[in-house]
Amino acid sequence: MRRIVVTVVASAAGALGLVACRPATVQLAFAPRPGAVYRFAVHVQSKSTTRLSGQPPRTRTDDVQLEAVDTVLSTTGSGSRLRVDVSRRSTAVASYLVRLDRQASLVGIDTVNGEPAAQLSNDLGGLELQYLLPAAVGAPANRSLQSGDRWRLEEPFAVPNVAPTRLLERGRLDRFGVLHGRRVAVTTTAGTLDVAPLPQASGTGQVGLRGREHTTTSVTRDVLDGSIERSTAVTNGLFDIILVSTTGPNGAPLVTGQLTLEVRSTTSRLD
């Protein structure tokens, strides 16, 4: 069953080792140079509990450490195209060609392992691309910001096999600093995503998820090009498991169970 998560980041100034610098106003646009390479260590811990009618609850826990190498193929005034190569213990797992906009939001997935990506494959044993692409979520507002500024965003959010939805997000630029010799900005966000399955033809017996997930984030970005330095993530979701093409007594899709999900991820730049 596909997991739908939004990467979240939580960090403190002491943990980051930030050095204070004078306040400034910046626009945190993601504008990497073509050929730039970013290497990340990714640690993901997840726990899901499935409760189906007439069956005892089933709980699954995962603790996965990966490395993601993001190579910038091209950058234009509207966004960038990247290759994301994922490995586990030096063994290749998957390779994606993706498109991000200037706010580092995920616009599209072109290929997975060289094949057209009609839908995001589950090559990582339940992990979604959002785990591996920290720039794809928690994007700052598309305007100049100074320390303490807040924003509210409502934007389309595309998830494979899920009806079109919108991400509601509130954010704040917490502070500026210097990390590993690079000037950075730390932002925090809190977001909500409602999920519903795509409509299916009658008689398909398609199983889907319907519910809501909440995400809180804190991301440390390089002020120069908007790339990620460090991030951590926490997402909590509660979903009904439904038979999309089968209706209950009130005409609504038939609920057959419930899924609760908690995901914590930490991403650190390696270079």
User: pLDDT 10s digit of each residue in the chain, 271 long?
Assistant: 333 333 322 222 233 334 344 446 788 888 899 999 999 999 989 999 999 988 899 999 999 899 999 999 999 988 899 999 999 988 998 898 988 888 777 777 888 888 886 554 444 434 456 555 654 456 677 788 889 999 998 877 766 667 777 888 899 999 999 988 889 999 999 989 888 877 664 445 677 888 999 988 888 999 988 888 998 889 999 999 887 766 666 656 677 899 999 999 898 999 7
CB of 85 within 8 A of CB of 95? yes
The C-alpha atoms of residue 203 and residue 200 are separated, in whole angstroms, by 8
Residue 7 lies in a domain: no
Residue 256 lies in a domain: yes
Residue 26 lies in a domain: yes
The pLDDT of residue 204: 55
The pLDDT of residue 215: 87
Here the tokens at position 18 are 């930030």
- Residue 28: domain span: 13-269
The pLDDT of residue 172: 94
Residue 104 lies in a domain: yes
Residue 8 lies in a domain: no
Name the phi and psi angles at 183, rounded to 5: -75, 130
Residue 2 lies in a domain: no
Beta bridge partners of 263: 46, 235
The dihedral over CA atoms of 261, 131, 215, 264, expressed in degrees to the nearest 10, equals 60
Name the phi and psi angles at 130, rounded to 5: -60, -30
Here the tokens at position 16 are 């980051």
Here the tokens at position 242 are 């439904």
Give the 3-state secondary structure of residue 130. Answer: helix
Residue 5 lies in a domain: no
Tally of structural domains, the chain: 1
The C-alpha atoms of residue 16 and residue 9 are separated, in whole angstroms, by 12
Instruction: Please state whether 125 falls in left (phi above 0), alpha (psi between -120 and 50) or beta.
Output: left
The pLDDT of residue 5: 31
